[in-house]
Structure 1
Amino acid sequence: MLTPVELRDIIDLLRAAARQVHPKAAAGICVVMWLATYGTAWAGRPLNADDASILPEGACQLETWLRPSRHLQQVVLQPACNPWGGIEWGASLTRQRATDEPSQSLLGLQAKTVFKEVEAGTWGVGGTFGLTRSMEGGGPGTTRTGTLIFSVSPSQPLVLHVNAGVVQAHSRHAVANWGAAVEFGFNERWTLIAETYGERHGRPARQIGARTWVRPESLQLDATLGHEHLNGRRETFFTLGLAWVWEVWARP
């Protein structure tokens, strides 16, 4: 059986070979590896691990963030709505560029539901199913993701999240991934976060961050600082994001 180090070496060789054949083939491999690591549910900013809650019925939100780093630059736009209750429907548009690769645009769709919503002093369970596809030709095809979400809130300011998911790219074997996060709200405006996430047999990524309400329950700013391993290289990154929540349909 291959060790993780040997597997990463093989991936690097495949990417180098693909680049000689066609640059879009190398970009496709890069997209698959990125989705395998980040293919958990589309979490509320600034987390990658999702929580067992959805938007209230009739509400929508728009999340956007950027990630400037040495080997991977990203800009993400992610709207979501819960028009009828029960299921939160979301979309994601990602523009990214990895070192020595052409830029890639990814379009994703996701449905999220909760079987029991987490509240202070209780636990909750939910799940997501999503599809992601490169908008350029020569990409990896459609990638399917599924995630089981468990959250528990021992007290009002503390919430813990655990995700277990799977990613299956076109014509490739499914890859298991996971995420674990903690949130601590030390007042009504500020929340601190810490999390770790990754894929099976891969090295975990870690990040810490904070979010704050600029306008309570409506406009939020967030930032994170973390590190991960991309193509065998350790990379430090930061993200800066914004989330806007509003009510579209009046609830009875």
Structure 2
Amino acid sequence: MTLFAPVVAQAARPMAADDASILDAGHCQLESWSQRTSAQTEFWAMPACRIGSWELGAGTGRLQEREGAQARTRSHMLQAKTLFRPLSTDSWGAGLVLAEQFHSGDHGKGDLSLNLPVSFSFQGDAVLLHANAGWLRERTAHRGGATWALGAEFAVTPKTALTLESFGSRFGHSYVQAGVRHTLIQDRLDIDASYGERLGWRGKERIFAIGLTLAGPALR
């Protein structure tokens, strides 16, 4: 939600900060989104399913550099998430996320990450706070460093939530991002949009994203 783009492992879109929740048993989802920065445009699809106590996902994306129509790259992500304590209403939860992101042709030299999300629920889930601490190993650059994210979700109607967050890494940059998520079909279909900026750059490095999430029980 990065590795190759300025995001950390994602919770419910459009957040970059992750949360302490996973899909219900027997359920799957498909997240798809487009993200645009000053340097490139990305198109992603990320299916995931709950298998046992793990949520497992495998996504692929196309990265188009803004300069040069031929500068295209395929990127891929593998992710596994589990919970130490599920998040419940007016309580807290914690989990673990393991991920690898790599470009086509990297030959096993992608970026590895570990993330520990902790979430807190207030006012009957009307306000959710998320704190992330993690580690990113950039194998091509032969270096590793800490990652972090702090975020909040505010339910403004039963179907609409606003999000606000900040995230970054030791070797990357720090960003602030605001977003909105709206449910079209309860527990089945969400749409979202977000806008972010690199801290300290006053609009010179921006992130725009729109997304769609489909979810439901797996076919039996």
TM over 0.5, yes or no? yes
Q: Over the residues paired in the alignment, what is the CA RMSD in angstroms?
A: 2.3
Superimposed CA distance per residue, residues 143-167 of structure 1 (whole angstroms, 9 cap, x where no aligned partner): 1111001000122200000111111
What is residue 163 of structure 1 aligned with on the other side?
A: 132
Q: How far does the alpha carbon of each residue in 1:60-85 deviate from its partner, in whole angstroms, 9 at most, with x for none?
A: 0000010234322111111100033x
1:100 is displaced (CA, Å) by: 4.2
Quote the Cα distance in structure 2 between the aligned partners of 1:140 and 1:81: 24
Question: Aligned residue pairs: how many?
Answer: 213
| Residue of structure 2 in register with 1:186 after alignment | 156
Match of 1:89 among 46, 56, 66: 56
Q: Deviations over 1:199-240 (max 9, x none)?
A: 1265411111110111111000000111127xxx93122111
C-alpha contact (below 8 Å) 1:92/1:107 kept by paired residues: yes
**Deviation of 1:138 (Å):** 5.8
Contact 2:3/2:136, CA 8 A, preserved across alignment: no
Partner of 2:210: 240
The answer to whether structure 1 residue 131 and structure 2 residue 100 are counterparts is yes
- Residue 104 of structure 1 aligns to which amino acid in structure 2? T
1:76 corresponds to which residue? 44
1:218 and 2:188 correspond: yes
Q: How many angstroms does 1:107 deviate by?
A: 1.1
Structure 2 letter corresponding to 1:45:
R
| Deviations 1:30-59, CA, capped at 9 Å, x for gaps | xx9635x43x32322100101000000000
Post-superposition offset of 1:248: 1.0
* 1:91 aligned partner, one-letter code: A
State the alpha-carbon separation in 2 of the partners of residues 97 and 234 from structure 1.
Answer: 19
State the structure with more CA Rg: 1
Where 1:34 maps in the other structure, the secondary structure is: coil
- For structure 2, the residue ranges without an aligned partner over 5 or more in a row are none
- The answer to which structure has the higher helix fraction is 1
2:9 is the alignment partner of 1:41: yes
Quick one: structure 1 residues 139 and 98, their matched pair in 2 at CA, closer, same or farther if it must change by over 3 Å?
A: farther
What is the alpha-carbon distance in structure 2 between the residues aligned to residue 191 and residue 209 of structure 1? 8
Hey, what does 2:65 align to over in structure 1?
A: 98
Unaligned runs of 5+ in 1: 1-31
TM-score scaled by structure 2?
0.88
Name the residue aligned to 1:12.
none
Structure with more strand by fraction: 2
